Chains A and B, each alone.
Chain A
């Protein structure tokens, strides 16, 4: 959770209006991760730990350069290493910086029942407010990228904040600042999109990557973290980056038709029973029972 003084445009589990919605003209911010120039140096991993003061954890050698199998509640930024053989036999060692994608339509926020536990700022950052988190883990289910992670002791969920605290002060996120090769960029979504498309075109025109492209999946309304991929037609090779991510159908069903149906049914049921009582009343009047009221005890 950040201490940012950012305005909020979406709040999880919240009844009524959103205080910051449409009150400010602000750019949507975005990270650009150019996987074609990532060298997997892990500077971003370290910067993330340093800036956010995340505690050290144990890791085990796992036949890979990758620090750990997946992000943790206290490890929000993880480069995924994948060895991939192209159809022409050439080997690729794909490195993808994995973290919260800051979806425009965040599944975590949609699934979250706790008022204000997840917010989306007007600049697009999706941020967890652990003080409000109830530890239900619905966000874990709501996320199509497997990002939110629960602290098993405190039962609060954590993830990348896109350094909302830094961004609110006009700084780039820590990971961006630490990147030595310039594979990471930060700016307005429009600018990043333009930069990414230009780079993808360069890769198509001048390198041996005819399918190079930009990953900004529409299924979640676009993301606040976009990738340039060597092969945008096959994002799964980058450690299971979903080809067409979307908020899980069950979350949509639950938060959509079921909620509507359930509310109608419950309220309708109450009204129906009330009307039934007015129309028919009790099956037997009280006085009928009173007539045979016992005097003594019972077994």
Chain B
């Protein structure tokens, strides 16, 4: 599908294909499960979550599998999006102006492309976070098979896993906030796949220009 075909009548534009949306939600749901069960293991005050989710044993059993699904989705995303997530000069400028972004003065922001620098950071944050979680998670999955001589791996894993998780939780909270509350229309984009041209123009001016320019060009 060429970018030109993304433009949908009535002023809407396709932002995420079905494949992208599915991947997002696979990652999303698995992450939420991981987050909930992880929180249960994180603090006794959250252990009730594990109880609700079928008990500690079930949670412990499924958590690593959910982790694999999550990391699988993240890696798939990498395949889909890594090319679009390259860091550009505009991103540099974007970060410099991020305080305007956070105070809703989007007009003072440099023109972001399909993904702004924050989204790219989210992507790479989850990617590297996912890698760390995977590696430490494997150790934590089978601690009994890590020999006494290699116990430093367990010591490392037990600190890396929650640290990486906390990092992704931070990303996740911002992601959720942005998607659900801050940017009206963003949530719809991962459900329906499209956003309004106004949305595109407002939040991703670079991308907006690109697609409108292409739409104006004659078809071959």
Contact = CB atoms under 8 A, between A and B. Distances in A.
A–B contact via C-beta, under 8 angstroms: yes
Interface of A: 13-15, 70, 111, 113-115, 117, 132-138, 140-141, 146, 149-150, 152, 155, 240, 248-251, 253-254, 258-259, 261-263, 265-266, 269-270, 273, 276-277, 280-286, 288-289, 291-296, 298-299
Contacts of B197: 292
A288 B216 CA distance: 25
B30 interface: no
A277 B181 contact: yes
Given A250-B156, A283-B104, A113 B57 contact: no
A294 B188 CA distance: 13
Contacts of A138: 140, 143, 158
Given A113-B47, A141-B154, A136 B140 contact: yes
Interface of B: 5, 8-12, 14, 40-45, 47, 50, 55-57, 59-61, 102-104, 106, 140, 142-144, 148, 151, 154-159, 162-163, 166, 169-170, 173-174, 177, 181-185, 192-194, 196-199, 202-203
Contact of B5 (A114, A254, A299): A299
24 contacts: A111-B158, A115-B56, A133-B57, A135-B57, A135-B60, A136-B41, A140-B144, A141-B143, A248-B158, A250-B156, A251-B158, A258-B162, A261-B166, A262-B42, A262-B162, A269-B170, A277-B181, A282-B182, A283-B183, A284-B185, A286-B184, A292-B12, A294-B11, A294-B12
B154 A140 contact: yes
A266 B167 CA distance: 10
Contacts of A293: 196
Contact of A292 (B50, B154, B198): B198
A221 B72 CA distance: 44
B103 A280 contact: yes
Tell me if A's interface is mostly helix, strand, loop or mixed.
loop
A114 B47 CA distance: 7
Nearest to B170: A269
Nearest to B6: A299
Given A289-B196, A294-B12, A282 B177 contact: no
A276 B104 CA distance: 10
B193 A298 contact: yes
Contacts of A292: 10-12, 196-198
B131 to A, nearest CB: 19
Given A248-B155, A289-B185, 10 more contacts: A134-B56, A136-B140, A140-B144, A249-B155, A269-B174, A280-B102, A283-B182, A292-B196, A299-B8, A299-B14
